[in-house]
Chain A
Amino acid sequence: MSALESLSRMLSGIAGRRPEGNLPAALPAAPAPARRRPGVTLTELMVAMVIMSVGILGMVGAFKFFNVGIQSAKTRSLANNIAQERIEFLKNKSYYRVLVTTQPVSDPNFAVGEMVYDLAPNGQESVNVGGITFIRRVLIRKVNEDSDKKLVPLSWDEPDSGLKEIKVYVVWKERGEWRKLEVRNLRENPNRVNLSASISGNVSESGGGALEGVVVRAQENPSKYAETDPLGNYSFTIEPGTYTLMATMDGFFTGTRPSFGVVSAQTVPSQNFTLTRMHHGTITGTAWVNDHLLVSQVVGSSVNSEGFSQEWVEVYNPTTWTWTMATGLNSGVVGLAYEMRNRAMEVIPLNYSTLTVDPQHYYLFANTGTVRAGNFNRQADAVYSNSAADYPNIIKTNTDPGNDAAGVAIGWLATLTGIDEVGWETGGQNPPLYKGTPIEQDIGLELNEQFVRKTSPGTLMPGVGRAYNTNNNDNDYFVLSLTYPPKNSANHENAVSGTPAYGAVVFADDNLSSPVTANSAGSFSLTNVSTGSWTVYASSGLNFSSVAYYGGTANGFSSSTGNLFLTSSTVYGYATGRVTDVNGAGLPNIKVFSAGSPQATTNASGRYTLPVQAGLVTVIANYRNQSPSYVEITSLDLTVGLGEVAKDVDFSLYYGGKIRGKVTTNGTDPLPNIPVVGLKNGIEQGSGISGTDGYFTISGSGVSTGTYVVMPQLEAGESASPSSTAVEVVAGQVAFSSTFTVSGAFGSVSGSVHTGSLAGPVITTGVLIYVTTAVLPPNSGPPTITAALRAGIVYYAASTNALGNFSIPVKGGYSYNVYAWYTSWRGSTPTTTRKDSTGLSVAAAEAKTVNFFW
């Protein structure tokens, strides 16, 4: 029996169509056909359907997987090709035409620091291949080898080291996620100026021995430096030039040596330094945060001379700004509420006679217009309205029936959110409103009893603002019989405490000490602070304060800042450092800037503290050459957290000026996009690119003073007249170099290819395009390219891309013929047809369009 038949039998059996049990032996043949039931039962069919659908559903998922797998392999391959193409293109350019990134930006679609790329001068481009749009980006940086032979990046405005790092990124979006592919390479300057000079010397401490670990740096070329060894000796090689040396080390005043010149193959020995150690001491203090109103006194009942049971709540404003309590007599902004255990919260209706409370002043809520306590008569700022239930006895005391644990709160009436709360126990029960631990009370708030907030940890001093707040009622309040009369909005008392700024970062801008954090009581001890006068900053990430403090003169000094109040909010981190000139002298009034935050100016000794955005930032000293005699210098990337401080972001500004010039095609008409470099002693100090008006500036941040050779960097085949000029750069001046006339500059020929007609569908498989001044015989193919042909007339060529477009740069000033060959196939037989467009004249910097169709 076949498999299918037995399957059918099985199914019949399952369906219950069993033939009858005992068959007479006389009918042997009959039962057999009876068992083989023809047709299909519903059950069989259902089972078949189930099997099939399971199979098919499984398939569908797998198909999707296959498609995704293939697609992602394809995009990866294409991205790889695209990245490689760009690297080859860049590495083929002459060294100075590989432009260093001056404006790096970060792509927010990737993790911080993972996708930093060039916004200017290279920019990004969009490449469409295989139906997918890729974005191709670059990041080019100057790099140099350090003493460990690692490559470290340099800032773009530092003198050129002869080696550039090229990174090409290709990003694309696949299935909703951004992906990237990265290729990196290096490009060296074949005309690198040899580090043929060498500088060496010894550093010791005044009155002491050799110093190890001192960094001796050539100011004009900051990537050239050395560290002293255990004997205090250092030595490094450098390109010939004129240099000022500076020796720096933490804990010592910097030493400098006057500027001297070094020529090729010269060794300048004995550039010795003697450094003076900085003395240091300790600064201590306490940091407090005061950012909201506090309930400073609660009295439940105090009978005045007329037998009226007064009650009041006094509120203190420890912040530095004025709070609006109400906008009108009955329009409250901040209100008062009372809640007793097992009862609903009662927002007390008030008549506001004073609308605001000034900084460091009080505000008095009471159930009567004038509060009399002892010899005092105090006007209430807000009086209970007699519409209040239980008026005038809202805050219950132990003499009131049903007295229980309760609390009082001030809060925003619009949203009913609390600003501050104080609650007290009664009979072991917790109140519904309190902060931390409720005030411990046995019988609750008593007659003539007051809860008064402390003025400092553990004490209550008259005349001082009642502002001590650890957010713990039991800890923050004293329970007294009526001792302290209430104050109102006319009373001013300065606070000497607040909420301890636990965890606040405290730092000084002396470049020696390290930041510390305040402890749970808000106090801090900043050690290793240099002698001198510094600014101490405290920041809790959201609140910030600063105080200028005179540190001390003797070694081992100890002084206190007293109380620091963090009252202004901030959303920044900080960078501190010093701006000096090449001789190490501090430069005052230099503008220091970082994107996204307010700028700062250096103080008399050149120090600054600059708020910066949290994250990856750069700091720029002498922003926009506001002090035109000096250059503008940009730091390397810093990572700063919110409220944290990055120390030692120092700058050494050298005298600088700028060079300006014009690039033209004929002496008048501008030629944009030509890079121009300024070389001093053969080392590139800065570069510029001619703009649409033909003018260029070397460079935006200023270049050091001296004699420069200014050279346009041209593509092969272009030539400039004059090919270079010499110009002298003087501090603070813009020197004009020359008007360069570039001949042979390039224009371009672009276009698209279609089938059918010019408006027809584009050809996506590739068309060969040639642009040349030569004339090809009619209907011939392109000439065979050999070494001999390459030595003759120039042919420019390209293949069209996947979108059917082409763009070919050609030398301007000629009349060109454009030829295009398209191959169509029948099976494996090709037929190539040529189309011509002759007599196209292209001028320098001009873009002409030619379209073809077959």
Chain B
Amino acid sequence: MVVGVMGVIMMAAPQTFTKVYRFVQLLTARVEIQKNARGALANINRDLRQAQGDTIVIDSLPNQPPHSRITFFKYSSAGVPVLMSYYQQGNQLFQARGGVSGKMIANNLRYIAFTYPRTDDDTILSISITFEKSTYEGGTKALQMAVEKVRIMN
């Protein structure tokens, strides 16, 4: 009898352990993705709003997805123009300020694109961003897409 019960435990315990571990992995992946999406978009939003519209340039780093980099001058809180740039390199999102090399602000980046709904109206810009993190057994699970429209105020 004890052997039987022991046998059940022996079979159940590792599975439970694995499942718990997977859940934890999934949870931390989701948390990370969400944090990335929210933080990155909020930052880009805030900066772009204060950008000077005619200084905006959208392109990409070499061998990176199209239109994944945006460069512009924005007004700092002292009223002085500052050069800002956000770009994708690999699956990381970088922010560069003042022309120095960039600082990573998020990883697990799958897709970022800056688009003008129409290029003859440069007062509104759309940003679409997707984060993706692979979890157990190679299945990419956590996915967060966020879209924003930003009015360029200057």
In the complex they form, whether A and B have CB atoms below 8 Å apart is answered with yes
Q: Which residues of A contact B (CB under 8 A)?
A: 39-42, 45, 48-49, 52, 56, 59, 63, 66-67, 70, 73-74, 77-78, 81-82, 84-85, 88-89, 91-92, 129-130, 716-717, 764-766, 768, 781-782, 784-787, 789-790, 794-799, 801-802, 808-809, 821, 823, 825, 828-830, 832
CA distance A113 to B40 in the complex (A): 36
Most buried by A among B6, B143, B145: B145
Name A769's closest neighbour in chain B (CB-CB). Answer: B115
Evaluate contact between A41 and B57: CB separation under 8 angstroms: no
Most buried by B among A74, A81, A92, A790: A81
User: What mask results when residues 31 to 48 of chain B are scored 1 for a CB within 8 Å of chain A, else 0?
Assistant: 100100110010001000
Q: Known contacts A795-B119, A825-B91; is A88 also within 8 Å of B149 by CB?
A: yes
Which residues of B sit under 8 angstroms from A717, Cβ to Cβ? 118, 120-121
Kindly provide the distance from the CB of A181 to the nearest chain B CB, expressed in whole angstroms.
14
Kindly provide the distance from the CB of A517 to the nearest chain B CB, expressed in whole angstroms.
55
The binding surface of chain A is classed by DSSP as: mixed
Which residues of B sit under 8 angstroms from A809, Cβ to Cβ? 117-118
Q: Known contacts A70-B30, A70-B31, A785-B56; is A832 also within 8 Å of B120 by CB?
A: no
Q: Known contacts A70-B34, A130-B145, A716-B121; is A766 also within 8 Å of B66 by CB?
A: no
CA distance A316 to B151 in the complex (A): 77
Q: Known contacts A42-B2, A825-B91; is A765 also within 8 Å of B145 by CB?
A: yes
Kindly provide the distance from the CB of A45 to the nearest chain B CB, expressed in whole angstroms.
6
> How extensive is the interface on chain B, given as a class?
35 or more
Which residues of A sit under 8 angstroms from B110, Cβ to Cβ? 765-766, 825
Evaluate contact between A765 and B65: CB separation under 8 angstroms: no
CA distance A56 to B111 in the complex (A): 39
CA distance A67 to B92 in the complex (A): 26
Evaluate contact between A799 and B147: CB separation under 8 angstroms: yes
Evaluate contact between B117 and A796: CB separation under 8 angstroms: yes
Flag whether B135 is at the interface (Cβ < 8 A): no
CA distance A158 to B110 in the complex (A): 50
Evaluate contact between B117 and A798: CB separation under 8 angstroms: yes
Listed A/B pairs (26) with beta-carbon separation below 8 Å: A39-B2, A41-B2, A45-B5, A45-B6, A74-B144, A77-B34, A81-B41, A82-B147, A84-B148, A88-B151, A92-B124, A716-B118, A764-B145, A766-B113, A766-B145, A768-B115, A782-B67, A784-B59, A790-B119, A795-B118, A796-B119, A799-B128, A799-B147, A802-B145, A823-B66, A830-B64
Q: Known contacts A129-B146, A798-B117, A825-B91; is A785 also within 8 Å of B124 by CB?
A: no
Which residues of B sit under 8 angstroms from A825, Cβ to Cβ? 91, 110
Q: Determine which of B16, B37, B65, B124 lies in contact with A823 in the assembled complex, contact meaning CB atoms within 8 Å.
A: B65
Evaluate contact between B116 and A785: CB separation under 8 angstroms: yes
Q: Determine which of A52, A67, A92 lies in contact with B123 in the assembled complex, contact meaning CB atoms within 8 Å.
A: A92
Q: Determine which of A91, A768, A784, A795 lies in contact with B151 in the assembled complex, contact meaning CB atoms within 8 Å.
A: A91
Evaluate contact between A59 and B20: CB separation under 8 angstroms: yes
Which residues of A sit under 8 angstroms from B59, Cβ to Cβ? 784-785
Evaluate contact between A799 and B113: CB separation under 8 angstroms: yes
CA distance A830 to B37 in the complex (A): 20
Flag whether B126 is at the interface (Cβ < 8 A): yes
Q: Determine which of B63, B65, B122, B144 lies in contact with A130 in the assembled complex, contact meaning CB atoms within 8 Å.
A: B144
Which residues of A sit under 8 angstroms from B98, Cβ to Cβ? none
Considering only residues 63-114 of chain B, those with a C-beta below 8 Å from chain A are 63-67, 90-92, 110-111, 113
Which residues of A sit under 8 angstroms from B57, Cβ to Cβ? 784-787
The binding surface of chain B is classed by DSSP as: mixed
CA distance A645 to B110 in the complex (A): 61
Considering only residues 10-37 of chain B, those with a C-beta below 8 Å from chain A are 16, 20, 23, 27, 30-31, 34, 37
Flag whether B154 is at the interface (Cβ < 8 A): no
Name A800's closest neighbour in chain B (CB-CB). Answer: B128
Which residues of A sit under 8 angstroms from B90, Cβ to Cβ? 828-830
Q: Known contacts A63-B23, A81-B146; is A49 also within 8 Å of B117 by CB?
A: no
Q: Known contacts A81-B146, A716-B121, A782-B66; is A42 also within 8 Å of B1 by CB?
A: yes
Evaluate contact between A794 and B123: CB separation under 8 angstroms: no
Evaluate contact between A801 and B115: CB separation under 8 angstroms: no
Evaluate contact between A766 and B119: CB separation under 8 angstroms: no
Which residues of A sit under 8 angstroms from B30, Cβ to Cβ? 70, 74
Q: Known contacts A49-B9, A766-B130, A825-B91; is A89 also within 8 Å of B149 by CB?
A: yes
Which residues of B sit under 8 angstroms from A56, Cβ to Cβ? 16
Q: Known contacts A81-B146, A790-B122, A821-B66; is A73 also within 8 Å of B117 by CB?
A: no
Which residues of B sit under 8 angstroms from A89, Cβ to Cβ? 124, 149
CA distance A63 to B27 in the complex (A): 9
CA distance A383 to B83 in the complex (A): 104
Kindly provide the distance from the CB of B1 to the nearest chain A CB, expressed in whole angstroms.
7
Kindly provide the distance from the CB of B87 to the nearest chain A CB, expressed in whole angstroms.
13
Name B30's closest neighbour in chain A (CB-CB). Answer: A70
Evaluate contact between B116 and A790: CB separation under 8 angstroms: yes
CA distance A828 to B61 in the complex (A): 14
Kindly provide the distance from the CB of B41 to the nearest chain A CB, expressed in whole angstroms.
7
Kindly provide the distance from the CB of A173 to the nearest chain B CB, expressed in whole angstroms.
20
Which residues of B sit under 8 angstroms from A45, Cβ to Cβ? 2, 5-6
Kindly provide the distance from the CB of B44 to the nearest chain A CB, expressed in whole angstroms.
12
Q: Known contacts A81-B146, A802-B145; is A787 also within 8 Å of B117 by CB?
A: no
Evaluate contact between B148 and A785: CB separation under 8 angstroms: no
